[in-house]
Structure 1
Amino acid sequence: MSAPLGCLWVVATPIGHRDDLSARAIETLRAVAVIAAEDTRHSRPLLLHHNIDTPLIALHEHNERDAVEAIVRRMQGGEAVALISDAGTPLISDPGFRLVRAARAAGIRCIPVPGACAAIAALSVAGLPSDRFVFEGFLPPKAAARRSRLQELAGDARTLIFYESSHRVAESLADMRDVFGAGREAVLARELTKLFETVLGEPLGLLAARVTADPDQQRGECVILVAGRGEEADAKLAEGRRVFAILREELPPAKAAKLAAAISGAPRRALYES
């Protein structure tokens, strides 16, 4: 193929298995003048595997603001540029937003070459409702901010999708258990398309305990999916509040909330703050 002059190709790359790079993506990456990659050292082995020798330039979160202007000038001069991230679809919790926005503002054509995306791959095998979902990306790393964001999402009826780092996945699952309730359905999709791929689906209480007890489940790339709040959750919360009101007459609020949550399955935090 001959790439159109002065355009930006946004190309999805594999999230693990190298052969998930599409034929169209391979053809595009061979045809452009240059490939803007999140990490050139990471992307080079993938490109070599597919016999792609197109020159690479770096475009990552630390240089994107400064690099965009030069790349746009290259496209305005007639060069076709491809944008890739380390894995999956660019811009999805990855750099590239500023480049795409600047290219469009300059009247440059932006062309998607779709492919792998960890969030969508996980959703496709999770067994949770997929007709309506929300992608939250990475939660805040600090515990207080993370719990605050989860509290804001507790009433959302859509399936929730999160990315999480391996060294925080156990903490995040524990926070989700406390905020959403131990009975809320959840799935941990780990190392998708790779050798140690696992997809674990259990209520949050069991899933959090399992991951905490198994260091192997705290490794690699992680996607967490949580079922949205449904009528059953509303019923549990209503029952939990009823039990909490009774227990609070005899017990301190914190202990009353803990017991009411254990009895009803409602989120302890929601009861304590009600």
Structure 2
Amino acid sequence: MRTPLEGKAAVITGAGQGIGRAIALRLAADGADIAILDLNIENAKRVAAEVEALGRRAYATVSDVSDRDSLHAAVEGAEKELGGFDIMINNAGIAQVLPLLEVRPSDFERITQINIGGVLWGTQAAAASFINRGVKGKIINASSIAGHTGQPVFGVYSATKFAVRGLTQAAAQEYARYGITVNAYCPGTVGTGMWEEIDRILAERDGVPIGASFRNQAGGIALGRPETPEDVAGFAAYLAGPDSDYMTGQAPLIDGGMLFI
């Protein structure tokens, strides 16, 4: 039986762990070859080995998404190694737990360069490649529930995820005439290393036990359990596959029922 992404290839940033790794493995299971871009080459190589164990080709390389030249070079390398690609997933990002009064220029610059810059540079690199090769590709960006509703002590993080939605909408309109679609996914409280770090910071800030903040967040999920990276990967696979061909410029929630908007 033909798999949904057979004959396709995907480039995924931040794919060495967490949600990015889960997306890489899901798309590989669906038939795609995968380029794993990550700051940590050892993590990237481990995921590449997992992809290859699923019978797909894999390419692992270092990339700093905040650096336009680095990301463009990594995407060009992936195109060469995989013989082209059809799907670009701008997944890499960081969190920031700071009240607005405590945000300093260095804090602002780092998170915006990664969370916004990484999406912009990745979108540029993918669109240029798709247009040059005449490929009706798919660009998929990582936003968040915080990109739909601003959250206290996550103010600048929320702003970056709102920005991802804006870039997604603008790119969808700019590239529609080439047959390129651009969408985003908006996860909620996902059990990853990123949330472990958030939980640690909140525990120290609020004087609560480790794990309490995560449990409090997860307690508000209608489906009654925390989100897993695989939950997000399933939706990313839909956006990457043919069933979403008539969808563009959208940023749906995939949060188990946290926000209802």
TM class by shorter-chain length?
A: 0.3 to 0.5
Task: Report which of the two structures shows the higher radius of gyration computed on alpha carbons.
Answer: 1
TM-score of the pair, normalised by structure 1: 0.35
TM-score, normalised by the number of residues in structure 2: 0.36
Identify the structure with the greater helix proportion.
Answer: 2
